[in-house]
Amino acid sequence: MSDSLLAAAAPTAAPGRISSWSLLLGNRLAAIGFCLLVVLALTALLAPLLPLPDPNATAPAERLQPVLSEGHLLGTDQLGRDMLSRLVWGSRVSMAVGFAATIVAALIGSVIGLVAGYAGGRTDNLVMRGVDMLMAFPYILLALAIVAVLGPGLMNALYAIAVVNIPFFARNVRGVTLALARAEFVDAARLSGKGHLSILATEVLPNVLPVIVITMSTTAGWMILETAGLSFLGLGAQPPQADLGSMLGEGRAQLFTAPHVSIVPGVMIFLIVISLNLLGDGVRDVLDPRLRSGALMRPGPRTEVARNRNRPENRAPDAILNVEGLETGFSHNGQYAPAVKDVSLHLRAGECLGLIGESGSGKSVTALSVMGLVNSPPGLIRNGAIYLNGEDVLAMPEAKLISCRGSRVAYIFQDPLTTLHPMHPIGRQIEEAIAAHQRLDRKHLRERSIALLERVGIPEAAERARHYPHQLSGGQRQRVGIAMALANDPDVIVADEPTTALDVTVQAQILDLLRELQEERGVALLFITHDFGVVSEICDRVAVMKDGRVVETGETKELLSNPQHDYTKRLIACVPEIGQGREFLSRVAPLFRPESRS
């Protein structure tokens, strides 16, 4: 278990607000980049105050002194000038030009990208073709051409480098803006009457900002290199003024006799660029709340399990799946908060257990914990045991757990459009699900996938197998999801609100299909829902969850006719009956006011 998760397993702390600053410095690499950059930038800024010799004062008698020679810490160059002094003054020039060019390119490029991506259509086409034309030239050739027109000199090098980098910003920002311009929260802002400028500034820009910052951080280093390149070619800093590129250029002739003359500015360029890149990554993480919470990090293959978890041994002997004392939570910045606590459930072969509760009560976290599918980070199973046919899933080796997914426990999710791959035909996706666990040749895979599609009620299955998810209706897609879950004859199917996104008639058909399949194959079904109507249709038993705990369990009929817990009573009261109308609303609304909640 990683350090952070060991920390997470420590006593629970209330999640507090952590400043962006401490988050940035908490990222070790970003902190190193930041400290390095501060030291380099301060040294460059304070160059006039430092006790350094004149960087341009030549001393032919002292030419090419080695590093650590008397009076010259970094030696001297071919004209006897002090390398340390030239390095500090040269870094000052290179950084100033690199940063200034970055800001100019970022400002102009981002505005172009924002306008093109937001406006779309013709404007986008026109603007982006212009940008493409700029990008079509090799950048160094373009920079050389600009300097050739404007004449050599540092300012002209700055303009040239800013211009050649504008397309990178424009392209990156335009790509993100294009997707954002069609996002629902932007539509909502439009509907609320906001103008284009205000939408761009308040809705789009904050989401694009991390992209701008990360592009700035990577291109700033790049631009310092490009400035150095132009100066190296004699088109940037003009003698006797030093910048890192011109120092490199001057050192070229002494590469073998006095390598320090080129190595010293080379190392400095490396340090500046690496510190910028490290800091840029850290800043991006702090700016994006999803990265900050770990939500965009690549999760591990299974949910982390605390080593010192309580592992209850008691379990229902005839159950195929036992969840005992499960506690799963999430840790952010070392602070752990449980999402489900002390959850115990059991499920027998051929039985359907409903898991019901309001949104956020912990149903999905419980269901995903069964196969270690809660993303870690930030997820952590801190306590409990999950027995599948008597074997503790949480103690299984990783390879075994992965092989159980789909073959012994399969999942059906709410929205098959997000779980089916949009680029592959559905038949192929079912074949892949089978091939993950069974060695079959192509012909048999195809036959089996068509048989499964037929079994779940897809008409003309052989033809439909070639269709893509977007060519099917919502109900048909869910049938494909069910076919995939059945692909390897699992013992348990976890269905996480499989009918919520469907209309009532399709919902009824899917429930019938699940019931039929369950009876036919003897599979155990853990059915997650908000809806007692659905529970009464399909579930043999039901567990009611509230605030991460199971508050009541029982046979469906018994629980519906004689609920014990207040919360269950309120949930049942919410099931409307035809013809109740206003009377129903006036009866139910007060039950869910804060003062009546327990």
Ligand X SMILES: Nc1ncnc2c1ncn2[C@@H]1O[C@H](COP(=O)(O)OP(=O)(O)OP(=O)(O)O)[C@@H](O)[C@H]1O
Give yes or no for residue 339 binding ligand X (CB under 6 A). Answer: yes
Give yes or no for residue 427 binding ligand X (CB under 6 A). Answer: no
Give yes or no for residue 476 binding ligand X (CB under 6 A). Answer: no
Residue in the block written with tokens 């490199």 = 248
Query: Of 368-407, which residues contact ligand X (CB under 6 A)?
Result: 378
Stretch that binds ligand X, among 232-240, 358-366, 417-425, 506-514 (CB under 6 A): 358-366
How many CB atoms lie under 10 A from the CB of residue 452?
25
String of contacts with ligand X for each residue 481-520, x by CB under 6 A: ----------------------------------------
Report the relative pairing of strands 541-546 and 549-555 from DSSP bridges: antiparallel
Rounded Cα gap, residues 12 and 23, in angstroms: 20
In the complex, the smallest distance separating the C-beta of residue 158 from ligand X, rounded to whole angstroms, is 45
Closest CA to 476 of 495, 448, 501: 501
Q: Residue 355 forms beta bridges with which residues?
A: 528, 543
Q: Are 449 and 465 in contact (CB under 8 A)?
A: yes
Q: Which of 113, 245, 362, 427 binds ligand X (CB under 6 A)?
A: 362
Report the relative pairing of strands 524-529 and 492-496 from DSSP bridges: parallel
Q: Which of 33, 265, 357, 416 binds ligand X (CB under 6 A)?
A: 357
In the complex, the smallest distance separating the C-beta of residue 485 from ligand X, rounded to whole angstroms, is 18
Closest CA to 112 of 90, 100, 135, 128: 128
Query: Of 273-312, which residues contact ligand X (CB under 6 A)?
Result: 295
Residue 292 vs 530, nearer CB to ligand X: 530
Q: Which of 165, 231, 361, 478 binds ligand X (CB under 6 A)?
A: 361
Residue 239 vs 360, nearer CB to ligand X: 360
Q: Which of 239, 360, 390, 522 binds ligand X (CB under 6 A)?
A: 360
* DSSP letters for 23-92: HHHHSHHHHHHHHHHHHHHHHHHTGGGS----TT---GGGTTPPTTBTTBTT-B-TT--BHHHHHHHHHH
Residue in the block written with tokens 């709410």 = 414
In the complex, the smallest distance separating the C-beta of residue 543 from ligand X, rounded to whole angstroms, is 12
Give Cα separations from 60 to 65, 73, 90, 242 (angstroms): 11, 18, 21, 18
Residue 325 vs 457, nearer CB to ligand X: 325
Q: Which of 322, 364, 507, 556 binds ligand X (CB under 6 A)?
A: 364
Give yes or no for residue 354 binding ligand X (CB under 6 A). Answer: no
In the complex, the smallest distance separating the C-beta of residue 546 from ligand X, rounded to whole angstroms, is 10
Is the previous residue joined to 48 through a cis bond, with omega within 30 degrees of 0?
no
Give yes or no for residue 109 binding ligand X (CB under 6 A). Answer: no
Stretch that binds ligand X, among 122-130, 265-273, 361-369, 441-449 (CB under 6 A): 361-369
Stretch that binds ligand X, among 45-53, 136-144, 359-367, 534-542 (CB under 6 A): 359-367
In the complex, the smallest distance separating the C-beta of residue 293 from ligand X, rounded to whole angstroms, is 6
Rounded Cα gap, residues 529 and 537, in angstroms: 12
248-251 own/partner pairs: CB under 8 Å, 24+ apart: 250/77, 250/78, 251/77
Give yes or no for residue 221 binding ligand X (CB under 6 A). Answer: no
**Ranges of H-type helices in 288-362:** 289-292
In the complex, the smallest distance separating the C-beta of residue 542 from ligand X, rounded to whole angstroms, is 14
How many residues bind ligand X, per CB under 6 A?
A: 13
Give yes or no for residue 359 binding ligand X (CB under 6 A). Answer: yes
In the complex, the smallest distance separating the C-beta of residue 362 from ligand X, rounded to whole angstroms, is 4
Rounded Cα gap, residues 51 and 84, in angstroms: 11
Gap between the terminal Cα atoms of the chain? 37
- Contacting positions for ligand X (CB under 6 A): 295, 330, 339, 357, 359-365, 378, 530
